[in-house]
Amino acid sequence: MVVAGLFVMGAVAGVFGALMGIGGGIFLVPLLTFFFHLPIRAAVGTSLVAVIATSAGVAAFAPKGKGADVSLALRLEMATTAAAIAGGWLAGAFHPRALHILFGLVTLLTAGYMVYKTKSKREATAPESLFRSDYKPKHWPIGMTVSSIAGLLSGLLGVGGGFIKVPVMYAVMDVPLGVATATSNFMVGVTAAASVFVYYSRGDIHPFVAVPTAVGVFGGAMLGAFVLSSIRASWVRTVLIGLLFVIGAHMLIQGLHG
Amino acid sequence: MGVNISRAGGTSPAPPPSGKADQIEARSHKISLFFSILALTLMLWGLAGGLAEGRFSMPGAPVTPMKELAGPPLTINYLWCMSSGIVLLGILPVLKVAMSAWKFVGARETASAAVALIVLMELAFSILVR
């Protein structure tokens, strides 16, 4: 029963993770600690395995021409991976409540900026496309800086950081939302790979928890990658904004009230 | 792999992908898929074995240490299978970055190939510094 529960939870996180380009770790850590009473480090270790499974599931089954922009992903990943290493070093120096408040503020600011961008894009007459090839990423310095912050938070909090990368690529760098989610899915796998072996060698990964979750996530991610090519950009954007507000508020309240 | 390597990553238009780059892309996709399926098979095999033996508990035993996975296995049990699957899954993103570097070299996109190599070095550094 518990195995089935982990599988279903993983599958749901995989679908949303693939659709939003956020890996799913941000849902899994709270769910594993709250419903399955897992210690936080074991939950983070499981979540990192699951984030890699999301990335692998999306990459394996994304339709041709609707996948990640690997060139863009790797350029941003240079900053993200370096900052994630620094974040891992700094993690011990930060108070957990400060991390929660920082996490919440960054998420809420990102959601607010996406709402602002959505309003300005609504004035355009042409319908928005999830995937198009005629884009050219803009504002590289801002993109690299915010990716560094995402990497730093990844190292500090043990999440993929896709919830920051997607809005930045979409709203700041002008990358189509479908390409941004697929690119983020590629990136979160690489970022998670930088930390997963630390958790592995510390014994913070428990196969009976990680395996059903990862298998569920992989299946969900395949479904998400399939669905992503046939749904409207506005649906993805609305769910992403709603999710960012909920996560941001939750983290901020947790940080302020301990 | 369903990835595009030369759509818009640079600040100048990328050259059209060569036939060699397409071959590498197809091969990379196959390798990724093979590793994913192998990892999942090992994990599922181990999980089924563990459940059949009635070993399930929450959170259960931790993963088999890496040094025991690196050498020839003394006994292949459910934990060994699940741990090997997890390690294979963890290696997959690193492998994908390496294959991207290979493809960029094949497509003569030197800037992107250099970027991929820097990311690979960063990943190696992240393992070494711990």
CB contact under 8 A, A78 and B63: no
Residues in chain A closer than 8 A to B117 (CB atoms) = none
User: What letter does residue B11 receive in the DSSP assignment?
Assistant: S
Does ipTM come in above 0.85? no
Segments making up each domain of chain B, as ranges: 20-128
Q: Which of A40, A41, A49, A71 to mutate to test the interface with B (most CBs of B within 10 A)?
A: A71
pLDDT band at B14 (very low <50, low <70, confident <90, very high): very low
Residues A144-153 as b/e (b if ≥16 CB within 10 A, e otherwise) read: bebbbbbbbb
- Cβ atoms within 10 Å, residue B116: 29
Name which of B5, B57, B66 is nearest A200 (Cβ-Cβ). Answer: B66
Q: How high is the mean pLDDT in each 10-residue block of chain A (258 residues)?
A: 89 81 75 81 85 81 70 90 77 69 77 70 56 79 88 74 83 85 85 80 88 91 77 74 82 78
Cβ–Cβ < 8 Å for A29, A43:
yes
Closest Cβ–Cβ partner in A66, A175, A208 for B60: A208
* Nearest-CB residue to B2 (from A63, A137, A201): A63
Nearest CA of chain B to the CA of A120: how many Å? 24
A194 and B61 within 8 Å at the Cβ level: the answer is: no
Q: Where are the alpha helices (DSSP H) in chain A?
A: 2-20, 25-34, 40-61, 70-90, 96-122, 140-157, 162-167, 177-201, 207-228, 233-257
Per-residue pLDDT at B13: 40
Interface with A, mutate which of B68, B119, B127 (most A CBs under 10 A): B119
Residue B79 contacts residue A208 (beta carbons within 8 Å)? no
Residue B127 tokens, joined: 């393992």
Distance (Å) from the alpha carbon of B22 to chain A's nearest alpha carbon: 12
**A53·B82 Cβ contact <8 A:** no
For residue A256, give how far its alpha carbon lies from the nearest alpha carbon of chain B (Å).
30
Q: What integer pLDDT is reported at residue B6 of this predicted model?
A: 44
For residue B17, name the pLDDT band (cuts at 50, 70, 90): very low
Phi, psi of A177 (to 5 degrees): -60, -40
Mutate to test the interface with A, among B24, B33, B69, B86 (most CBs of A within 10 A): B86
Distance CA A5, CA A232 (A): 30
DSSP A168: I
- Type and span of the H or E element at B48: helix B19-52
Q: Which residues are CB-contacts of B18 (< 8 A; sequence separation ≥ 6)?
A: B106, B107, B108
* CB < 8 Å to A58, chain B: 2
Mutate to test the interface with B, among A46, A48, A70 (most CBs of B within 10 A): A70
3-state SS assignment for residue B4: strand
Comparing CB atoms, the residue among A59, A133, A190 nearest residue B32 is A59
Name the closest residue on chain A to residue B84, using Cα atoms.
A207
User: Which residues 6+ apart lie within 8 Å of A252 measured at CB?
Assistant: A100, A101, A104, A105, A108
Binned at pLDDT 50, 70 and 90, residue B126 comes out as confident
Closest CA to A159 of A243, A45, A53: A45
pTM of this prediction exceeds 0.90:
no
Q: Count the alpha carbons within 13 Å of B91 in the hemisphere toward its beta carbon.
A: 15
Say whether A59 and B86 touch across the interface (CB within 8 A). Answer: no
Listed residue (A10, A2, A214) closest to B85, CA to CA:
A214
Q: B19 vs chain A: nearest CA distance in angstroms?
A: 16
**Residues shown for chain A:** 258
| Helix/strand/coil (H/E/C) assignment for every residue in B72-119 | CCCCCCHHHHHHHHHHHHHHHHHHHHHHHHHHHHHCCCHHHHHHHHHH
Q: How far apart are CA A17 and CA A214, in angstroms?
A: 12
Handedness of CA A234, A239, A240, A242 (dihedral sign): positive
pLDDT band at B39 (very low <50, low <70, confident <90, very high): very high
Other CB atoms closer than 10 Å to residue A116's CB: what's the count? 11
Q: What pLDDT score does A254 carry?
A: 77
Tokens 């999301």 map to which residue?
A: A54
Quick check: A85 and B129 CB within 8 A?
A: yes
Per residue in B70-93, pLDDT (tens digit) is: 777 666 688 889 999 999 998 888
User: Does A215 contact B36 at a Cβ distance shorter than 8 Å?
Assistant: no
CA B109 to CA B11: how far, in whole Å? 13
